[in-house]
Amino acid sequence: MDKTWLITGASSGFGRGLTEKVLARGDRVIATVRRTGSLDDLVAQYGERLSVAYLDVSEPDAVQRTVDKAFADCGRIDFIVSNAGFGILGAAEETSIDQMRQIIDTNLLGSIVVIKAALPHLRAQGSGRVIQVSSEGGQIAYPGFSLYHATKWGIEGFVESLAKEVAPFEIEFMLVEPGPSRTAFIGSIIQPDPISDYDGTPAHDLKEAAFGGGWVIKGDPDRMTNAMIAAADAPKMPFRLLLGSDAYDGVHAALTERLAALEAGKDITISADFTEEELAAM
């Protein structure tokens, strides 16, 4: 049976790739973009099966109107893909308050508002699947990406809690965590004005590698979007879908280190409780 998708940030990268592939197999897509005309070629090819809406997800009222209209027009939407977002690469001290607000309003608050706007409709239709495009950076952290990581760790915590809240309504969630991939992400990254004291430090070293060609990107966005679609179609979606060997290695190392630290501090951690005797006397 043909499915209907609502995909934000569809003008490029994973959003564009997902849009192309699910249209090619016969599904219907409501795609949101920030660049008018960016999907004109697909509209010409697929006609009424593709609806395109201009949307800045950092504008909550516009998000609500767009999501409400999408459900009103389609009657049912099977997949919500919250994908819109961008990166900032630079030391935290270099990042302006306006840049901080912009990335939080888009990546974190924007993603939350998209999902929240869809929930009443998904409850009413009795089911639905929400795919939040996060990042390996929702579980690990690179120097220079502190604001980006703040948004990705934040959206992962939100989704993990929300999934438990709405499970009784047959609403499922998947956090997609791609590692570095050959999309246009690097080219769209905002770079704050540099502070020379950070030259030669990890934050600037990583920036030089990213923009100087020293960072070998193994991730194939075509294979990644294939994996996303296969996971979305599965009888039960995985809650987390990590993509790419570098992502696997990085997250595995981080979780192993975190677990070792947890065990090393176990005695101190447990000592913070009331004793059984004290609890019995309360």
* CA dihedral (35, 80, 251, 137) positive or negative: positive
Choosing from 148, 181, 198, 207, which is the catalytic residue?
148
pLDDT digits (tens, 9 = 90+) for 174-208: 999 998 877 666 667 899 999 999 999 999 998 88
| pLDDT score for 218 | 86
Give me the catalytic one of 146, 152, 181, 207.
152
Within this chain, do residues 199 and 274 fall inside the same structural domain, yes or no?
no
Looking at every residue in the chain, the average pLDDT score rounds to 94
Same domain for 88 and 165, yes or no, is yes
Q: 262 and 191, same structural domain?
A: no
Domain count, the chain: 2
Residue 142 annotated in active site? no
Residue 141 has pLDDT above 70, yes or no: yes
Q: Is residue 150 located within the same domain as residue 259?
A: no
- Written as one string, the DSSP assignment of 149-168 is HHHHHHHHHHHHHHHHHHGG
Active site residue 266: no
Q: Would you say residue 1 has pLDDT above 90? A: no
**Over 70: is that where the pLDDT of 42 sits?**
yes
- In this structure, the answer to whether residues 34 and 168 fall within a common structural domain is yes
Give Cβ neighbours of residue 206 (< 8 Å, ≥ 6 apart).
89, 142, 143, 144, 145, 215
Has residue 40 got a pLDDT over 80?
A: yes
At 78, which CATH number? 3.40.50.720
- Rounded to an integer, what distance in angstroms lies between the CA atom of residue 78 and that of residue 39? 21
Mean pLDDT across 43-49: 95
Same domain, 192 and 277: no
The per-residue pLDDT for 262 is 98
Active site residue 134: yes
143 lies in the same domain as 252: no
Tokens encoding 169: 């309504």
118 in the same domain as 214: yes
Q: Are residues 64 and 176 in the same domain?
A: yes
Say yes or no: 142 and 228 in one domain: yes
Q: What is the mean pLDDT of residues 136-148?
A: 95
Same domain, 140 and 251: no
Q: Would you say residue 26 has pLDDT above 70?
A: yes
Q: What is the pTM of this model?
A: 0.94
The string of pLDDT tens digits covering residues 101-129 is 999 999 999 999 999 999 999 999 999 99
| pLDDT at res. 182 | 77
Domain span holding position 267: 246-282
Of these residues, 134, 135, 146, 181, which one is catalytic? 134
At CA 116, angle to CA 85 and CA 74, rounded to 5? 90
pLDDT at residue 68 tops 80 = yes
Same domain as 269, residue 129 = no
Higher pLDDT, 278 or 188: 278
